[in-house]
Structure 1
Amino acid sequence: MAGRATRDLTEGPVFGHILRMLVPMSFGIVAMMLTGVIDTYWVGTLGTSQQAAVQLSFPVTMLVMSISIGLGAGAVSVVSRAAGEKDDSIIRRTATDALSLSVLAVGFVSILGVIFVEPLFRLIGASDTMIPHVIDYMTVWFSGIVLIVGPMVASNILRALGNAVLPSIMMIAAAVVNMILDPFFILDEFLGLPGLGWGVSGAALATVAANAVTFVMIGSYLVFREKLIDFRWHGLGELVHNWGEIARVGLPAAASNTFNPFALTIVMGGLGMAQFGDAAVGGVGVAARLEAFAIVPLFALSASIGPVTGQNGGAGITSRVREAFAKSFLFCLVWSLSMAVIILLLSRWLAPAFLPSEMGQQVAQTYWSLVTLTIAGYGISMAASAGFNGLGRPSFGVMITSSRALMMAVLAVSGGIIFNSPAGVIGGVAIANILSGAGTATYVLFRAPMEARKRKQRKAAAPANAASE
């Protein structure tokens, strides 16, 4: 394979490969989550309007980041399948073209974002007091988004080749740099030292600067150490063909990442939890945030299974693909149940520590006793979707994630109406987790194809003399 740090995932213990990538990825995800917490804290010191402006930006930034997640999934799929086929030339070309496609696609979004930032956020409800801070924050964020997305796609390329340690180190490094820069960029003074006092713009710039550092580092590694970047021009036809192969997986994967946020919006909105008051919404919000830290390995699993299914599918070893799915699903079940028991045991102290109202505490404890106990279903859905993306079969992933999201929204709203209580909404989410997890596992292990979808061959150009005859 291309590069010294790559690993052949078609040999050795299947789940051993997944676990070896899952562990460092978990640390990287935790580091990035902590960055969000630190950002929120420092921006909160500026004032309510500034805090609200940055919080309001979250759905938009997540929607834009879904593009990079999709492009990363497309890169993982194409590169890992080529690695399974032991085709170094395709690995280099698709790695190069994945990076160029991400830069161009996100660059286009960046330009549109800077131009339309104010009308966009007024459309989604930003108040007059929030708008100046939204513009300050999002103009910087949109301007530097290429530097944020670039390292993500580059990291996915390395993961596709079995190298999970360096991408995780880069995530942690970006998080540390971001947390160090935050107070100096945001505040006028910190620890007796002068700060730049850029406010919310400083928060966005700290994120962009931290990712720029990692982009240079991981880019240099790809070029000089792994030699995965091919600077030769192979013609527009091959470039467009490779972009098409990446987008064939990347676009559905990006769409899949939007289903869950939309479903959560319905669950938390006026048809769901919001009808029962602020305390109910706060209880579910706190419970879900704490739960997210506990199930980080499930998020890491979804980033680790694709390279394994892709390489083994590309090599035609379907038994190892099926084993990767089966053992990943078992891991989801064991880990989720273990974390649910721990959280339940600690819930009598956790709820009052984060929630002042008795109702909020009761809602949080209900959530942990129902949803957290069934979160394995969510993990199974994520792992299955990512695994099929690795096989070059993104339609299966779209089917899995969309059906779970629809089920969750319908059952949560129905539960709230039938039982007229927060417990009804929460119970609906829990039932959706059980049904989607059980249905997904059954379908994947007994019905779904385990073969990788073959890469389309580009049609060769007709010979010049043939055209003249």
Structure 2
Amino acid sequence: MAGRAAHDMTEGPVFGHILRMIMPMSFGILAMMLVGIVDTYWVGTLGTAEQAAVQMSFPVTMLVMSVSIGLGAGAVSAVSRAAGRKDGSSTLARISTDAMSLALISVGSVSLLGVIFVEPIFAGLGASETMMPHVVDYMTVWFAGIVLIVGPMVAGNILRALGHAIVPSLMMIAAAVVNLVLDPIFILDDVFGLFPGLGWGVSGAALATVAANAMTFLMVAWYLVFKEKLIDFKPEDLGEVWHHWVDVARVGLPACLSNIFNPLAMTVAMSGLAMARFGDAAVGGLGVAGRIEAFAIVPLFALSACIGAVTGQNGGADRLDRVREAFRSSFLFCIGWSVSIAAILWITAPWLADLFLPSEAGQSAAIAYWRIVPVTIAGYGITIAASAGFNGLGRPAHGMVITASRALGLMIPAVIIGAYYLDAPVGVIWGVAFANVLAGAATALFVLLRAPMTAKHGRQRKRRADPQADPVAAQDTP
């Protein structure tokens, strides 16, 4: 293995490996979610137009980040399968290097186009004249620094593919802490009499994010190069580089699409086709309920970020029994966590609704959501875990079909039908619950009874033997 020995997840308790990565990853995700909340608070002190500008940027930033998440999934798949095959340290370093270069080149292209076309993009999205200057200020900095934001994400995925849990999570937490410290300094004109004149408004919010991630990028780059020796600076045959890019992209591109399906379904649930029919208060109630639920199910998000490394390594090693066990134990974890969270939210629902929502209509919608949907959230967890697990096996089509079936095939029709049939907010809520239950049950049955557990390695390319993987073969190579 590259550098210090990576964790061999083809041996030992299967779910033990997953659980070892879930816990630190959960803290990293929570830290990043906290940054979003604090960003919103500080920008809100600048004024309504400034806050609206940052909120307006959210769909675009999420779309770009979906690309990076997809490329990260592709990196996990390629690296973990190679680790499972015991390809050797030089091959792992070559694949890791090529995965990073693909991510940086791809996102760098997006960065350049974004900076050039930021104003036309948001004019097309309907940004008002008062909002546009602030949108341009924020997004120009964000687009210019996106490579520094995406780099650590992909690097963290490479480390997770080799079974490392603590370091990538610490990097996420470090970036979040620095971002939280820099936010008021960079955004406000004066912070308790300190740092006068450093406040750059909305552009300062973006700059704080870029600066925090730049620091993290330097740290993780040092770790990859000197500690793990996963970056190979030696010139390489372009055909080999292209081969690795294709292997990463064939998983990464479908994974990008999969990350778009669920936000799209939730957008429809909030729209005039569903919840918005019942007024702003109902929409607010659903929005608050969803945000609180997102915090409650962070371990399920962490699970989806970790399972691909386990299925990838075991699939690469042809340990099909362990691949199946990874899926089975993950599904049971989703069910257990869902039941626990459902019990907590059932009890605390009235208090949470009163704390976050001013109107009775909004409170009623939120309470109904927290008492119906959380017990079914296991179904959502099963679908995202299955999708990520298949990505790890190099089978992204399976994952994309699973997420598309829940979001587009079930949830969108269910929330619209529920809204019109029951003619009440609870109809939308029952639609979400129905989609979770049916998608989760169908996914679990398919994965455990019918789905292939083998890794798909794609078209193999003949290459020189790796002397660290097979010294004898390397000596025989002309």
TM-score bracket, normalised by the shorter chain, equals over 0.9
Q: Which residue of 2 aligns with 1:416?
A: 419
Within 5 A, what are the aligned runs for 1:6-155?
A: 6-88=6-88, 89-155=90-156
Given the alignment of the two structures, is residue 446 of structure 1 paired with residue 453 of structure 2, yes or no?
no
Offset, 1:458: 2.1
Question: Which amino acid in structure 2 is aligned with residue 133 of structure 1?
Answer: H
- Alignment partners' CA distance in 2, 1:411 and 1:141: 36
Which residue pairs with 1:464 in the alignment? none
- 2: CA distance between counterparts of 1:62 and 1:400? 21
1:327 aligned partner? 329
Deviations 1:210-262 (A, max 9, x none): 00000000000000011011111112111111101100100011111111111
Shift in Å, 1:5 = 5.5
Conserved? CA contact 1:92–1:229, under 8 Å: yes
Q: CA deviation at 1:194?
A: 2.3
* Alignment TM-score, normalising by the size of structure 1: 0.97
Of 427, 430, 435, 1:432 maps to 435
Match of 1:283 in 2: 285
Farther-moved stretch of structure 1 (58-67 vs 232-241): 232-241
Alpha-carbon distance in structure 1 between the residues aligned to 2:422 and 2:125: 31
SS in 2 for 1:308: helix
**Residue from 354, 368, 371 that aligns with 1:369:** 371
Tell me which of 288, 296, 299 is aligned to 1:297. 299
The alignment partner of 2:129 has SS state of coil
Write the deviation string for residues 34-87 of structure 1: whole angstroms up to 9, x where unpaired.
Answer: 000100000000000000100111111000001100110000000000000111
- Counterpart AA for 2:103: S
Amino acid in the other structure paired with 1:409? I
Q: CA RMSD in A?
A: 1.0
CA positional deviation for 1:116? 1.0
2:407 counterpart residue number: 405
**8 A contact 2:349–2:371 mirrored in 1:** no
Separation in 2, partners of 1:155, 1:194: 33
Residue number in structure 2 paired with 1:238:
240
Aligned length: 461
Q: Secondary structure at the match of 2:219?
A: helix
Q: Which amino acid aligns with 1:125?
A: G
Secondary structure at the counterpart of residue 271 of structure 1: coil
Distance 1:59 1:115 in 2: 18
CA contact (8 A) 2:74 2:250 kept: yes
Give 2:314's match in structure 1, choosing from 312, 315, 318: 312
Shift of 1:419: 1.0
* Equivalent residue letter for 1:47: G
Which deviations, in whole Å up to 9, do the C-alpha atoms of 1:354-382 show, x marking residues without a partner?
00000100000010111112111110000
Deviation at 1:455, TM superposition (A): 4.2
Q: Distance in 1 between matches of 2:129 and 2:5?
A: 52
The residue that corresponds to 1:467 in the other structure is none
Give, in whole Å, the separation in 2 of the partners of 1:134 and 1:378. 34
Query: What SS is found at the alignment partner of 1:456?
Result: coil
Partner letter of residue 450 of structure 1?
Answer: M
CA deviation digits over 1:141-188, x for unaligned, max 9? 000000000000000000000001000000000000000000000001
Q: Give the aligned partner of residue 474 of structure 2.
A: none
For residues 372 and 50 of structure 1, the distance between their equivalents in structure 2, rounded to whole angstroms, comes to 34
Instruction: Note if contact 1:5-1:163 (Cα within 8 Å) is conserved in structure 2.
Output: no
Letter in 1 for 2:163: G
Residue ranges of structure 1 left out of the alignment (5+ in a row): 462-469
Structure 2 residue 184 is matched with structure 1 residue 183: yes
* SS of residue paired to 1:190: coil
Preserved contact between residue 416 and residue 424 of structure 1 (Cα < 8 Å): yes
Q: 1:183 to 1:460 in 2, by over 3 A?
A: closer
- 1:213 aligns with 215
What amino acid maps onto 1:57 in structure 2?
A: S
Contact 1:415 1:424 (8 Å CA) reproduced:
yes
Give, in whole Å, the separation in 2 of the partners of 1:154 and 1:255.
Answer: 21
Q: Which amino acid aligns with 2:87?
A: D
- Could you tell me which of 318, 325, 341 is aligned with 1:339? 341
Q: State the 1:275 CA deviation.
A: 1.2
Report the TM-score when normalising by structure 2: 0.95
Cα distance in 2, alignment partners of residues 374 and 345 from structure 1: 16
Find the aligned partners of 1:350 and 1:369 in 2 and give their Cα distance: 12
What does the per-residue CA deviation read over 1:197-219, in whole Å, with 9 as the maximum and x for residues that have no partner? 10000000000000000000000
Q: Answer yes or no: is the 8 Å Cα contact 2:63–2:260 preserved in 1.
A: yes
**Any idea what SS the aligned residue of 2:442 has?**
helix
* Shift in alpha-carbon separation, 1:354–1:108, aligned structure 2, 3 A: same
CA drift of 1:460 comes to 7.1
8 Å contact from structure 1 (residues 140, 204) kept in 2: yes
Once the 2 structures are TM-superposed, how far is the Cα of residue 91 of structure 1 from its aligned partner? 1.1
Over 3 Å counting, the alpha-carbon distance change for 1:155 and 1:26 in structure 2 is same
Q: Take 1:456 and 1:94, find their aligned partners in 2: how far apart are those partners?
A: 15
Residues in 2 aligned to 1:413 and 1:455: alpha-carbon distance in whole angstroms? 40
The whole-number CA distance in structure 2 between the counterparts of 1:389 and 1:306 is 6
Instruction: Return closer, same or farther for 1:127/1:101 CA change in 2, 3 Å cut-off.
Output: same
The Cα offsets for residues 280-313 of structure 1, whole Å up to 9 and x where unpaired, read as 0000111111111110000000011000000000
Q: Is the 8 A contact 2:178 2:212 kept in 1?
A: yes
Checking the alignment, whether the CA contact within 8 Å between 1:79 and 1:90 is kept in structure 2 is: no
